[in-house]
Chain A
Amino acid sequence: MIKGLKSRQVIAVLAVFTLIFSSVVVSISYAQKAKVTILWRDDPDEVPVLDGFIKDFNNTHPDITVEAIIVPYEEYDPKLFSMWAAGTPPDIFWCAAESGYVDHAIRDMNLTLDTLINRDKDILNVKDFYPAAIEGATFRGNIKGLPFAQAYTAIFYNATLFDNAGIKYPTTNWADKSWTWDKLVEVAKKLTRDINGDGKIDQYGLLDTRDLFEIAWAWGGDMFDPDVYKGYPPKKLALDKPGNYNALLTALQKRANLVYKDMVSPTPATEQVIEQMGPPLKTGRLGMVISGDWSIWGAMPKNYKWGIGAVPYSVPNVKKVCLYTDPMEIARTSKHPNEAWEFIKYLSSPSVQKTLMEKTSRISSRQSLRKDYIEKISSSVVNTKQELEQVLSGAFKYCQEDAEHTVFGFYKLQSVWTSETDPLWLGKKGAKEVLDTMIQKVNQAIEENLKNVVK
């Protein structure tokens, strides 16, 4: 009996030792494996694709473990900032929500990547990225992120509605001088119809989703001084310059005219109705949409034909549209910057970019993949491959990176001007009255932003 107990004790002691030993071994081997975290938003289209990339990367890189932290969109920035405050930032993050890489850079959150890019320039082939995409990740001359996802601006249209109205599709040539704003409105008028005859319009010619800074660009002005886009915080809006002011004033007036004078665009209330039914273009209630290419992401309804065209000249000789680049950034205080670099390099590699394109029908920041993109979307649009090539070359030529990413404290300024211009879109106030108050209010917000961070 005693003997038996003893042997049991021996076994127990042995078992404990084995347990300790094996856990030490496991933790040593684990310690050798660098754990890299990446903060992502809970997007049902993106997460499965990202998971696939992580799995593939972890399999091919036995010494690195990448782990995704997925949070809802609206919690992305709070999570990023609070993880940072807690001293445990995610190794990789990006402008997934409202704050852009410039907001991160001014707070000294992201690593400057130039040295690493230089080191790996042969594998990386930086020249393959659209120059504008690299520009859209540059802060005061330093590259702060590597492009992962990419979007461009164009006119996306419902070709069936054009056919029904018996009119020609919009041109794909961005340099076509005859393709003007007035021409666009004229086309839109022909596409605007009351289909069921109840006296209410139920098919609109045009929805221009561009933000204020974009329409200021389109009309030859700018809301900000040039160095603001390079990462220097704005001190005030550049709308005290008459050229800029008049450009935006005209732009606002023309936009409001779409709803209340030309009657080709839905009122905000109707626009909300359309948006509740799905992505506006896909509802079939719009002839043309000026927006990022998310208008044609995912599967397109088969009951209509679709097309892509060039954005027209609002004023002669001036053309600038928005480019949307999502650069992946590395936390400045990351414990594994090299491993994080390996992963973002992997994410922007041609093979991963191609998979991303195939799974999400999004364009790549890599110019070498443009042909694949054209191949991919040509089956779902009426345009020829040559026409698509023309649209894309224009979209990447006449573009500048989204101010949301490049202007410090953008989100606050945008929320002010969005609210301040509501009375104009609702047809309650005139463009000039709205613009004058808006400038004053945004300038106040700029001052508050400056007080908040820049010391």
Chain B
Amino acid sequence: MKTRMSPMAKKEELYFYLFISPWIIGFLVFTAGPILASLFFSFCNYDVVTPPNWIGLQNYKRLFSDPLFWQSLKVTSYFSLISVPLGIILSLIIALLLNQNIKGLTWFRTIYYMPSVISGVAVALLWMWIFNPEFGILNFLLWELFRIHGPAWLMSEEWVVPALIIMSFWGIGGDIVIYLAGLQGIPTELYEAAEIDGANSFNKFLNITIPMMSPVLLFTLIMGIIGSFQVFTQAYVMTRGGPHYASLFYVLYIYQNAFQFFSMGYASALSWILFIIILALTFMIFKSSPLWVYYESTRER
């Protein structure tokens, strides 16, 4: 049914492009350009100062024989595998609690969200003190409450990643807010109907809350995984990847290669591999989503 555009519509179209042009130009120049350039550099030796020279697939070949590449992948997966599910469970539990009808609810909500407002570096510095093996409040409490000599946390090969996982829960406020919004969107009549059928709270949670929340869970799962694969600030500020590469996160390794060793070509190759990994994970989660994500709208059709 498309007819020729009226002059008015044409003008409107022109305005449309005019008004979104800052974004389009910004995207092309500052995002798409560098992305394409990094693809080119990943096939080159490039130290930024001297012109790049083409070396074909050598950077990618080097990846597979580079023990630090595998180490950084291991560290990142370890962190991701534990911190993402735990983070989701924790924030969902807190969201459920904050969804109750109790006094001072807004206060609690504010308190739980507040940490998310503080910037990454400040949080990292704060947690360095919390994890401080000698004066840190964590080891102090472990000793006072359980008579346990706490580990050296950030200075221990075994405990550095668990420490950073614990620290990652500092930022769950953002997820809590999303879950709260999701919880409040669940129609109360569903719960009422279930109650009439004699369901207890656990049944209600399992059969109503979880399915109704599943699209939100899908969203936070994907964002959580992407976020956990991009962990940088904590490791950069607190551990520099140490001790003995025990916290060498993938993005930190990219950063070191790019901006400290100036192996820009190798860093570009690393970045593209990360992109492919995240893409593959996201794709897999999306593919699996029909099995466990419930969309009201699809059911209605």
Contact = CB atoms under 8 A, between A and B. Distances in A.
A420 B244 contact: yes
Contacts of B128: 276
Contacts of A84: 48-49
A164 interface: no
B47 A276 contact: no
Interface in A72-127: 74, 77-78, 81-82, 84-85, 98-99, 107, 109
A60 interface: no
A419 B244 contact: yes
B154 interface: yes
Q: Of B49, B259, B260, which is in contact with the most chain A CB atoms at under 10 Å from its CB?
A: B49
A181 interface: no
A267 to B, nearest CB: 8
Nearest to A272: B155
B44 to A, nearest CB: 11
A270 B134 contact: yes
B148 to A, nearest CB: 16
Nearest to A277: B135
Interface in B30-53: 45, 47-50, 53
Contact of B244 (A77, A422, A451): A422
Contacts of B262: 77, 81, 99, 452
A299 interface: no
A1 interface: no
Given A412-B260, A415-B256, A419-B245, A107 B133 contact: no
B152 to A, nearest CB: 4
Contacts of B129: 276
A82 B133 contact: no
B243 interface: yes
A419 B241 contact: yes
B21 to A, nearest CB: 25
B47 A452 contact: yes
Contact of A109 (B49, B134, B245): B49
A74 to B, nearest CB: 8
B115 interface: no
Contacts of B53: 455
A268 B50 CA distance: 39
A421 to B, nearest CB: 9
Given A107-B50, A273-B133, A422 B263 contact: no
A206 B47 CA distance: 40
A448 interface: yes
A423 B155 CA distance: 11
Contact of B152 (A81, A85, A269): A269
A90 to B, nearest CB: 13
A426 interface: yes
Given A77-B259, A268-B155, A85 B242 contact: no
A85 B264 CA distance: 13
Given A269-B133, A269-B155, A273-B133, A452 B244 contact: no
A31 interface: no
B34 to A, nearest CB: 12
A39 to B, nearest CB: 14
B243 A452 contact: no
A78 B213 CA distance: 45
A411 interface: yes
A448 B242 contact: no
A426 B157 contact: yes
A415 B47 contact: no
Contacts of A418: 242
B274 to A, nearest CB: 19
A453 interface: yes
Nearest to B248: A419
30 contacts: A77-B262, A78-B48, A81-B47, A81-B48, A85-B49, A107-B47, A268-B243, A269-B134, A269-B155, A270-B133, A270-B134, A272-B154, A273-B132, A273-B133, A273-B134, A276-B128, A411-B260, A411-B261, A412-B260, A415-B256, A415-B260, A419-B243, A422-B242, A423-B157, A448-B263, A449-B261, A451-B45, A453-B50, A455-B50, A455-B53
Interface of B: 45, 47-50, 53, 128-129, 132-135, 152, 154-157, 241-245, 256, 259-263
Nearest 6 Cβ contacts at the A-B interface: A422-B244, A269-B155, A269-B152, A81-B48, A422-B243, A412-B261
Given A418-B242, A419-B242, 13 more contacts: A77-B260, A81-B49, A98-B260, A270-B133, A272-B155, A273-B132, A273-B134, A273-B135, A411-B261, A419-B243, A428-B157, A452-B262, A455-B53
